[in-house]
Amino acid sequence: MTEAAIHSTYYEIQPDDPWWPSASYGIPVANIQCRVVDKQGRDCPGWVKGESWVSGAGVATGYHGDEERTAEKFVVWQQRRWYRTGDVASYRPDGILYFFGRADNQVKIRGHRVELGEVEGALSRLPQVENAVAVVLSGATRKLAAALLAHQPLDLAASKQLA
């Protein structure tokens, strides 16, 4: 996450590690704390999926010039500032944190964060478009693709409304 200046967790893979259906985030590094919480912000017990929160040294204080998003993503709990990552995670009973994906439609394409809903919204604002859906195509490189239901042919390259 770019909201932290350093990695916030680590996990050393062992040759005899079992295969897990998710990626191991591991445990927090020094001066970092992690939580997995439910929709009410309560800690989830082991194996229960929730949103990953991160706090501590190196975690940003907010988004420059975006007070609304800062208030949504950076929260205070028990006198500590936490970043709500939007990642779905769970703890194993031994304290290892596992990542399962995103709680929203945010994806990464060539290192850039893309909100699929924003792409769909921009396409749907075109007057000819009735509906749009954005997806990620996997292959040698991940690519962004969209399917549109339009009332007439489109020239997306010429559309200034997408900018």
Q: Is the pLDDT of residue 162 over 80?
A: no
Q: Is the pLDDT of residue 14 over 80?
A: no
pLDDT of amino acid 21: 64
E strands, the chain, are 9-10, 23-28, 32-37, 50-56, 74-77, 80-91, 97-102, 106-109, 112-115, 129-137, 143-150
pLDDT of amino acid 1: 64
Q: What is the pLDDT of residues 28-79, one digit of tens each?
A: 988 999 999 999 999 999 999 999 999 998 899 999 999 999 999 999 999 9
Cα–Cα dist 6/116, whole Å: 27
Q: Is the pLDDT of residue 118 over 60?
A: yes
